[in-house]
């Protein structure tokens, strides 16, 4: 696609429910990143994928968070048993190749509210 | 390890005045440096980036930034602020063959008429 596409754009869920956030990167981009932006906070790195593998999962806040990527394209971030502190904007980004100073392009984010 | 510090979470300037947003980084190897802008309810857009070569980098919307290795800085400037520049600005650093981008905490720019 023309840009990074994320869905849903807005999600309100009850505490304890599971949510899935989807990211469709720019066509041909091999690297895919997930970041979290909490209200008034900066960007918190969660995980990145090179192809389908995730060499660095160190940013995932807890074992309730998981992510996968299939076919080197679409990625899903899953949050199990959501808590109120999970409320944030979840931003996905992609780039042609990791490193090398290549630009990462962001989607518009999925706004998650846990009530 | 890399880190990025943006001084001032909020900066306010008058329309037509100089914009200066500060960014300092720490890196054990030569970094790649970026500035992104986030308009309300939107994702992040690249303003400009430094990888190699000329240390003064020009970006979109009249912004520019200068990489100063001795000061480990990459401050963002614009000679004359416009109302449409009101947004949040993020500085980021990565390094060659390193796949993680480190972002600063952001600076919200307010432009007064």
Summarised one tens digit per residue, pLDDT across range A21-32 is 999 999 988 889
Best A30, A34, A88, A104 member to test B by mutation, with max B CBs in 10 Å, is A104
Judge residue B91's burial from the number of C-beta atoms within 10 Å of its C-beta, 0-12 exposed, 13-18 middle, 19 or more buried.
buried
pLDDT at B53: 85
pLDDT at B97: 58
Considering only CB atoms, which residues of chain A are within 8 Å of chain B? 4, 31, 33, 35, 41-43, 45, 48, 50, 55-56, 91, 93, 98-101, 103-109
The model's pLDDT over B60-87, given as tens digits with 9 standing for 90+, comes to 999 999 999 999 999 999 999 999 999 9
Q: Measured between alpha carbons, how far is A108 from A3 in angstroms, rounded to an integer? A: 10
Distance (Å) of CA B61 to CA B37, B47, B54, B68, B110: 11, 8, 19, 22, 16
The model's pLDDT over A56-79, given as tens digits with 9 standing for 90+, comes to 888 899 999 999 998 889 999 999
Least confident of A45-54, B9-18, B52-61, B95-104: B95-104
The model's pLDDT over B9-46, given as tens digits with 9 standing for 90+, comes to 999 999 999 999 999 998 777 788 999 999 988 889 99
Q: Measured between alpha carbons, how far is A28 from A48 in angstroms, rounded to an integer? A: 16
CA B30 to chain centre: 17
Max Cα-Cα span within chain B: 44
Beta carbons of B106 and B72 less than 8 angstroms apart: no
Beta carbons of B62 and B46 less than 8 angstroms apart: no
CA B98 to chain centre: 20
pLDDT at A22: 98
Mean pLDDT of A2-9: 93
Inter-chain Cβ pairs, chain A and chain B, closer than 8 A: 58
Q: Measured between alpha carbons, how far is B23 from B104 in angstroms, rounded to an integer? A: 8
pLDDT at B99: 64
């Amino acid at each position: 696609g023309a840009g990074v596409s994320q869905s849903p754009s807005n999600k309100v869920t009850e505490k304890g429910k599971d949510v899935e956030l989807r990211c469709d990167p720019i066509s041909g981009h091999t690297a895919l990143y997930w970041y979290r932006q909490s209200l008034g906070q900066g960007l918190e790195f969660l995980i990145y994928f090179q192809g389908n593998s995730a060499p660095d999962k160190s940013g995932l806040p807890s074992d309730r968070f998981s992510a996968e990527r299939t076919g080197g394209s679409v990625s899903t971030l899953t949050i199990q048993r959501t808590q109120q502190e999970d409320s944030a904007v979840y931003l996905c980004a992609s780039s042609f190749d990791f490193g090398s100073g290549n630009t990462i392009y962001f989607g518009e984010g999925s706004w998650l509210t846990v009530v | 390890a890399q880190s990025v510090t943006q001084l001032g979470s909020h900066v306010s300037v008058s329309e037509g005045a100089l914009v200066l947003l500060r960014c300092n980084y720490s890196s054990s190897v030569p970094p790649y440096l970026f500035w992104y802008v986030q308009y309300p309810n939107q994702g992040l857009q690249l303003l400009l980036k430094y990888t190699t070569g000329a240390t003064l980098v020009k970006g979109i919307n009249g912004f520019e930034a200068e990489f100063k290795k001795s000061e480990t800085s990459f401050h963002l400037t614009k000679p004359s602020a416009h109302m449409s520049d009101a947004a949040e600005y993020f500085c980021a650093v990565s390094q060659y063959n390193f796949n993680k981008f480190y972002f600063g905490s952001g600076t919200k720019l307010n432009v007064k008429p």
